[in-house]
Amino acid sequence: MKRVLALCCLLAGYAGTLTAGTVTVEDFAGRSVTVPEPARRIVALAPHIVENLYSAGAGDRLVGVVSYSDFPIQARSLPRVGSFNAFSLEQILASKPDLILMWGSGNGAGALEKLERLGVPVYVSELRSLDDIPASIRRLGRLAGTEAHSETEAQRLEDGFARLAGEFGAAAPLSVFYQIWHQPLQTVNGVHLISQIITLCGGRNIFADAATLAPRINLESVLARNPRVIVAGGMETAHPEWLEHWRQYPGLQALNGGLLSVNPDLIQRPTTRALDGARDLCSKLEAVRTGN
């Protein structure tokens, strides 16, 4: 049985080992995380981690989550241990977890050190690319012992992104401004996952050269770069003024059918739903490209 499990893990490309019931996985901080057996009681300290754990087939192991953990619907009824940047160590410990999943850049300075003091294995999630999403699902499945489910889901995601790249990657590029917030104006640079989706769809992020991951910018810089497409990603349908605001600048190329919106939960969370968000954005960019 050990030989079969080891072979399955090797074929699936897991960053871990299995010895005498223990499970060891490398997290996104480059740390080796070991649990004595597949985790049965898990606390997850970010909504995207909660979602990815369900995608890995291990959502039923969750005993504690943070606020805004709203997908899938089952996550809404799970016990809260605070918010992603203000969680309670006491509530985490009271949940009696055998594994804590934390968000490297989101849970706050010193969070890892504080969590490690609880004496529970801590896994750091830090997803920065499309490839990181299926990789994370595989590792979470490894930690929870749900490899068969997690591998199927990870492969589905990889195949879906590959199909989109083949269909749209070589299309005539469209200059795109992605607006994640309105006041102040905020966007993403070229290494952000959202920018990678734009590229996947045959777009070109006009602020790819920005020095920070999610820079604040001024109106004049957007007008000067004059994008063919403006995508409002923080609004969905709740704030149509995010797009209407741009109509007062008649020189903008985007006014010619290039004012778009996308569901932020589908494109701004590093989860399997990013594939749905990418499909939506690719379809909308293609409609601008072809004039349909």
Tens of pLDDT, residues 33-75: 999 999 999 999 999 999 999 999 999 999 999 999 999 999 9
Minimal CA–CA distance to 236: which of 273, 268, 279, 283?
Answer: 268
Residue 27 in this model has a pLDDT that exceeds 60: yes
DSSP 265-290: HHHSS-STTHHHHHHHHHHHHHHHHH
> What is the 3-class SS of 58-98, one letter each residue?
CHHHEEEECCCCCCCHHHHHCCECEECCEECHHHHHHCCCC
Distance CA 120, CA 223 (A): 51
Share of the chain above pLDDT 90, in %: 82
Say whether domain 2-156 belongs to CATH 3.30.9.10.
Answer: no
What's this model's pTM, rounded to 2 decimal places?
0.87
Residue 128 in this model has a pLDDT that exceeds 70: yes
Lowest mean pLDDT among 2-6, 33-37, 179-183: 2-6
pLDDT of residue 240: 63
Kindly state the helix (H) or strand (E) to which residue 199 belongs, with its residue range.
helix 193-200
pLDDT of residue 235: 56
Share of the chain above pLDDT 70, in %: 91
> 156 φ, ψ to 5°?
-60, -40
Domains 2-156 and 169-290 share a fold: yes
Q: Domain 169-290 belongs to what architecture?
A: 3-Layer(aba) Sandwich (3.40)
Amino acid identity, position 100: I
Tens of pLDDT, residues 137-154: 999 999 999 999 999 999
Residue boundaries of the structural domains of the chain: 2-156, 169-290
**Which pairing describes strands 32-35 and 22-26: parallel, antiparallel, or unpaired?**
antiparallel
Lowest mean pLDDT among 17-21, 130-134, 278-282: 17-21
